Amino acid sequence: MEQLVPLLVALPLGAAFLIVMIAHAGPLKRLTTPLAVLAVLVNLLIAGRLLWAGALHVYVGGWGQGQTLGIELVCDGLSKLMLIVINFVALASIIFATQYMRRFTKVWLFDALFLLMTGAMSAVVLAGDMFNLFVFLEVAAIASYALVAFGCESEELEAAFKYLILGTVGSAFILLGVTILYSLTGHLNMAKISEALRTIGPDSPGVLLGGAAIIAGLALKAAMVPFHAWLPDAHPSAPAPISAMLSGVLIKASGVYALARVVFGVLGVSPYYANILIAMGLLSMVLGMFLAIGQWDFKRLLAYSSISQVGYVVLALGVAAEAMSRAAPDRTVAALCLFGGLFHLFNHATFKSLLFLASGSIEQQAHTRLLKEMGGLSRRMPVTSFCCRIGALSISGVPPFNGFFSKLIIIIALVLSGHNVLAAVGIGVAVGTLLMYIKVQRYVLEGEPSDAVAAAREAPAGMCIALVLLTIVCICAGLALVPLRDLLFTPAGEALLGALP
């Protein structure tokens, strides 16, 4: 079973380089897109197979446990959850792209960059040391910069440049923090750093400085307020499959996952880090919701909504850290917070990817992203409209869809932890989210169609298949809450809590 773990990284990266070669080999260039779909599908199957294995620690390059140097891949419950999320969303996105990307030139380059980003994200969630975490964060970021600019129009290039500059700033903060921790501990392996910090003292000035730098850099990668400025431009400008990947998995793998892993598994929970996560989560929820309500560009509305929804996840992580940092740690409340937060991470990956792909279908058929220029698409694009409606109900927290259950669990956990005000804010943001998606359904799916969408027709079959796959998960995930809890979310939460002293 251990031999499968490196394949999760090697397979997409190898396929990306193979695509570059066969793209220049005459008739073989037609195989680039099928090869990309096959690589992601196999990766998803491998990730699914690993769910029934225990925690795996794989040492790459002949450097084993106990050596001074080593490349460790850690496939625990949290890594497995993230691998399922990354590769499932990637599969839906690449299937959608098979027909959506035909209007672009050099589709083989898109396929190669897509696999490079997917493989790098898989490596991020498997990395057992800070150096390789940083390296693959950068590989995924560089691929995403190019993919945001893929259309090569002025809007895409401006957004990609802004994303590049702010992403580089975030990377600099992360590298600074890693350097400080390495100078203090002499280790890059996460487990060894954590062990050394217990001796040094997690509240020493040097450790706090390094931790603050890493958290700031990762918060920028996750687009948390006040580090969110790049996201509202990058996500709408990118092609729809990349918008789905950026919002559905990249800000989670590069930001939220890494935040959780570093705080719980490296720095150790303390009131300092817990309060920072709570503050960022709360600000992101509220500000993202208000900014989204005022948007009339469909994809910008979705982008601001991502900031708000990811705020729920970070808030839950912060409250879990706060519960474990008390004089008498409350492991039950912390576990419930982590369950709700990780469940919402999973749910947001599915319904936000669904909404971005649906917006791409609508934009391609209606030739506009402005809500006021649409209308009546439920009759012209029935499959896309149905899937969009399910995604909107799910993200709004309407029962029995998956978003309702994850938000409910987070709010219950906040009440049990004594944070009644935060629970009230969470309910208020849920109501605001419902209002913004009522606006989407009113202006996009219902009403009288404008002249701009009079000729709109249903999207091609491949694009509809991708939408239906994500829609099925939105419908079934809430109903399958208990099996998913036992299979995915409880092991992921235990991986975080088990890393604490």
Tens digit of pLDDT for each residue in 43-58? 999 999 999 888 888 8
Evaluate whether residue 368 is within a structural domain.
yes
Is the pLDDT at 305 greater than 70, yes or no? Answer: yes
Q: Are 214 and 178 in contact (CB under 8 A)?
A: yes
Is the pLDDT at 70 greater than 70, yes or no? Answer: no
Evaluate whether residue 258 is within a structural domain.
no
- Helical axes 490-497 vs 77-100, angle rounded to 10°: 130
Structure tokens at 299: 């994809």
Is the pLDDT at 115 greater than 80, yes or no? Answer: yes
Evaluate whether residue 47 is within a structural domain.
no
Say whether 71 sits in a helix, a strand or coil.
strand
- Helical axes 130-148 vs 190-200, angle rounded to 10°: 120
* Distance from C-alpha of 96 to C-alpha of 215, rounded to nearest angstrom: 34
- Candidates 104, 108, 140, 134; CA nearest to 122 is 140
Q: How many residues would you count in the chain?
A: 501
Q: What is the DSSP letter of 326?
A: S
**Position 63 confidence tier, pLDDT thresholds 50, 70, 90:** low
Amino acid symbol at 31:
L
- Candidates 353, 374, 335; CA nearest to 241 is 353
**Position 13 confidence tier, pLDDT thresholds 50, 70, 90:** very high
The pLDDT value recorded for residue 199 is 84
Evaluate whether residue 64 is within a structural domain.
no
Is the pLDDT at 308 greater than 70, yes or no? Answer: yes
Evaluate whether residue 485 is within a structural domain.
yes
- Candidates 251, 224, 418; CA nearest to 319 is 418
The pLDDT value recorded for residue 55 is 84
Q: What is the DSSP letter of 58?
A: E
The pLDDT value recorded for residue 333 is 93
- Candidates 492, 356, 493, 477; CA nearest to 82 is 492
The pLDDT value recorded for residue 67 is 52
Evaluate whether residue 378 is within a structural domain.
yes
Evaluate whether residue 135 is within a structural domain.
no
Is the pLDDT at 64 greater than 90, yes or no? Answer: no
The pLDDT value recorded for residue 198 is 84
Is the pLDDT at 471 greater than 90, yes or no? Answer: yes
CA dihedral (113, 369, 351, 476) in degrees, to 10, reads -120
E-state strands within 67-126: 71-75
Weakest-pLDDT range from 102-116, 121-135, 136-150, 414-428:
102-116
| Mean pLDDT for all residues in the chain | 89
Is the pLDDT at 307 greater than 70, yes or no? Answer: yes
Question: Please, where are the H alpha helices in 152-270?
Answer: 154-185, 190-200, 205-221, 231-237, 240-245, 251, 258-262
Evaluate whether residue 344 is within a structural domain.
yes
Is the pLDDT at 61 greater than 70, yes or no? Answer: no
- The tally of domains found in the chain comes to 1
Q: Is the dihedral of CA 240, 241, 246, 247 positive or negative?
A: positive
**Position 112 confidence tier, pLDDT thresholds 50, 70, 90:** very high
The pLDDT value recorded for residue 176 is 95
Residue 274 neighbours by CB distance under 10 Å: 21
Q: Are 263 and 218 in contact (CB under 8 A)?
A: no
Alpha carbon separation from 146 to 152, 210, 227, 273, 498 (Å, rounded): 10, 30, 21, 33, 38
Residue 465 neighbours by CB distance under 10 Å: 15
**Position 121 confidence tier, pLDDT thresholds 50, 70, 90:** very high
- Greater model confidence, 210 or 329: 210
**Position 66 confidence tier, pLDDT thresholds 50, 70, 90:** low
The percent of residues above 90 in pLDDT, for the chain, comes to: 56
Weakest-pLDDT range from 99-108, 284-293, 296-305, 448-457:
448-457
Average pLDDT over residues 343-355: 94
Residue 487: domain span: 284-501
